[in-house]
Amino acid sequence: MHSRRTVLTTAAAAAAACATGTAPAHADGPALGSRSPSPAVLTRLRGLISRMTPEEKVGQLFVMRVYGHSATAPDPADVEANQKEIGVAHAAELIARYHVGGIIYFGWAHNTRDPHQIADLSNGIQKAAAVQRVPVPLLLSVDQEHGIIARIGAPATLFPGAMALGASGSRDDARTVARIAGEELYAMGVRQDYAPDADVNVNPANPVIGVRSFGAEPQAVAGMVTAEVKGFQGAGVAACAKHFPGHGDTDTDSHVGLPYIHHTPEEWERLDAPPFQAAIAAGIDSIMTAHIVVPAFDTSEDPATLSRPILTGILRERLGYDGVVVTDSLGMAGVRAKYGDDRVPVLALEAGVDQLLNPPDLALAHGAVLNALESGELAWPDIDQKLLRILLLKERRGLFTDPYTTHQAVDRVVGIRRHLATADRIADRTTTLLRNDGGLLPLSRRRERQVLVAGVDAASPSGTGGPPTAVLANTLAGLGFTASALPTGPTPTQAQIDQAVAELRRRDAAVVATYNVTADSAQRKLVAALLATGKPVVQLAVRNPYDIAQLDGVRAGLASYSWTDVELRAAARVIAGQRKPHGTLPVPVMRADAPATVLYPIGHGLTY
């Protein structure tokens, strides 16, 4: 049941019950809104809202990208990009013109060069907000899931990602990861992390979630989500569970298309809902919407981001959530497939959204919301309620008291030795040994001293190190082996395969890093050719753990769940016998020739 997509068979009445909130509510504990602020805080924030102009109110609903390492003096190329895409020169001008409520940091936007620079950027943004007519601090956010999604790289501490943590099975580790990550983000002035991923990855063909999910078992995912929510928010950083109502069972990437989730309400209740219910019970500050269609809940087939039956009927009314709802990026194809960029923000607000994330055309989106308010399509009292939720989140995260940070705060916590050592210890509990026929692992420094490391060099997040074959080779060399790297890429040519075979013939063993191997992948030819030499070959899946099902003849196979340095070093220690493998599969691996048949079940993991 964990890997095959299901077919919609439910009656419309069941969907209507969920969508309208008439189905029984769940007693999951207090929702965010039940943590009532004091009357004095409410009075102050409502007074702040009352002083805002219509343009200022609408601006507070937007969280926007901006190019540059500085709030007022970005590099010329970043000024040019800002003027082309947003019509402003820099972050301070963005705030002055549009009164945005938040800014999201990206590596590709040159926001995250190093921790001191990030802290300076954050301070510059808050100073620009402080001099506005109605000063409101900004909520600065980032996608720092760890694993394959990390916008801030070294020297900040990089941790194993969600599925690796799912393989460890340790909620304590998940909470520790989120606490330390939150402490480091807070020190850099970032008060919201778009994590954890609350999707239950029940579809191995999922191209966008995969290892970003903790796994395929809903209750296990729910436990890990709860742990990370407590870790982040205990460190003063708003957590954000994503992607509601659940993006785990799709074979389409919502960045480039519009996915459909064909779960019945009963299947959604069992598979997708538990992590979000757990996040709400834990008092999560924010929840991100998914650009996915769920016909069982909305027969209009609008994406969930624009669906009132889903966001208001289910999330608000049925699950009782009264925190901030933020869209996934409005520049993604999934939310733009049906409506124009002028209609998307209006429909999202009507559906129940509070924050509009990263529209492709801010001027168009901002103007469209103002026009909808002037025409009466949107109502000011509803907008004021959304603003109050946003301002309460900022209040809860201390932004009205002290939105600034210092270099000293950065130096005290970001990438300190204790945090880096903790990351390595946690990673040592994640590597999963799937197959070890004949006790091939661990490699022996006497028998297999000279090791070739071949395979994929995936693109690591900025500042996380790499490339993977070099990280593996260097770590093995540090453990007493003579190791050399030969990157062959995700689609090795025959010439590259021949070179790898020739290199292996001069060595004792090979480690080959694989990445999302499919039936027609050239990586299969590479592995087969290395095996044909008769030398020991160790296969390491550096993203999804399903590769081994496609690789006949492999005697030793492992999963690291990511190509980032911290996980690759841990895998190398297992290969070398310096650490025993402790991870177990948080998702099933199905047979390649019989996709309905389990090859390795959830919980499978060998040791030695």
Check pLDDT > 60 for residue 14. no
Q: Are 224 and 171 in contact (CB under 8 A)?
A: yes
Q: How confident is the model at residue 528 (pLDDT cuts 50, 70, 90)?
A: very high
Query: What pLDDT shows up at residue 526?
Result: 97
Query: What pLDDT shows up at residue 464?
Result: 54
Q: β-pairing, 598-600 with 589-590?
A: antiparallel
**How far is the C-alpha of 302 from the C-alpha of 259, rounded, in Å?**
11
Check pLDDT > 90 for residue 413. yes
| Residue 183 tokens, joined | 């402490």
* pTM, full prediction: 0.91
Query: What pLDDT shows up at residue 208?
Result: 79
Q: β-pairing, 144-146 with 149-150?
A: antiparallel
Q: How many CB atoms lie within 10 A of CB 556?
A: 25
Check pLDDT > 50 for residue 576. yes
Check pLDDT > 80 for residue 365. yes
Closest C-alpha to 185, from 236, 245, 124, 128: 236
Q: Are 215 and 221 in contact (CB under 8 A)?
A: yes
**How far is the C-alpha of 547 from the C-alpha of 537, rounded, in Å?**
15
Residue 53 has what DSSP assignment? Answer: -
User: What would the mean pLDDT of 565-584 be, rounded to a whole number?
Assistant: 97
Check pLDDT > 70 for residue 113. yes
Query: What pLDDT shows up at residue 35?
Result: 67
Question: What residues contact residue 547 under an 8 Å CB cut-off, 6+ apart?
Answer: 514, 515, 516, 517, 523, 539, 541, 557
pLDDT tens digits for range 423-456: 999 999 999 999 999 999 999 999 999 999 999 9
Check pLDDT > 50 for residue 7. no
pLDDT tens digits for range 24-70: 333 333 333 346 889 999 999 999 999 999 999 999 999 999 999 99
- From the list 26, 255, 262, 407, the catalytic residue is 255
Question: What residues contact residue 140 under an 8 Å CB cut-off, 6+ apart?
Answer: 102, 103, 104, 105, 122, 125, 189, 190, 191, 192
Query: What pLDDT shows up at residue 15?
Result: 35
Residue 260 has what DSSP assignment? Answer: B
Q: Rounded to the nearest 10 degrees, how much is the dihedral formed by the CA atoms of 277, 281, 282, 284?
A: 70
**How far is the C-alpha of 600 from the C-alpha of 436, rounded, in Å?**
13
User: What would the mean pLDDT of 61-81 be, rounded to a whole number?
Assistant: 97
Q: How confident is the model at residue 459 (pLDDT cuts 50, 70, 90)?
A: low
Query: What pLDDT shows up at residue 9?
Result: 29
Report angle CA 540, 545, 549 to the nearest 5 degrees: 90
| Known catalytic residue at 328 | yes
Query: What pLDDT shows up at residue 33?
Result: 37
Query: What pLDDT shows up at residue 252?
Result: 73
HSE, side-chain direction, 13 A CA sphere, residue 125: 37
- Domains identified in the chain and CATH numbers: 12-413 (3.20.20.300), 431-600 (3.40.50.1700)
User: What would the mean pLDDT of 461-480 be, rounded to a whole number?
Assistant: 83
Q: What is the H or E stretch that residue 525 is in? A: helix 522-531
Q: How confident is the model at residue 249 (pLDDT cuts 50, 70, 90)?
A: confident
pLDDT tens digits for range 155-197: 999 999 999 999 999 999 999 999 999 999 999 999 999 999 9
| Known catalytic residue at 255 | yes
**How far is the C-alpha of 395 from the C-alpha of 381, rounded, in Å?**
21
What are the backbone dihedrals phi and psi of residue 241, each rounded to the nearest 5 degrees, phi first?
A: -80, 135
Which of 72-76, 457-461, 550-554 is the least confident region?
457-461
User: What would the mean pLDDT of 334-353 be, rounded to a whole number?
Assistant: 94
Q: What percent of the chain has pLDDT over 90?
A: 87
Query: What pLDDT shows up at residue 207?
Result: 76
Check pLDDT > 50 for residue 2. no
Query: What pLDDT shows up at residue 457?
Result: 85
Question: What residues contact residue 495 under an 8 Å CB cut-off, 6+ apart?
Answer: none
Check pLDDT > 80 for residue 466. no
Check pLDDT > 60 for residue 408. yes
* Mean pLDDT, rounded, of the chain: 91
**How far is the C-alpha of 39 from the C-alpha of 30, rounded, in Å?**
19
Query: What pLDDT shows up at residue 13?
Result: 35
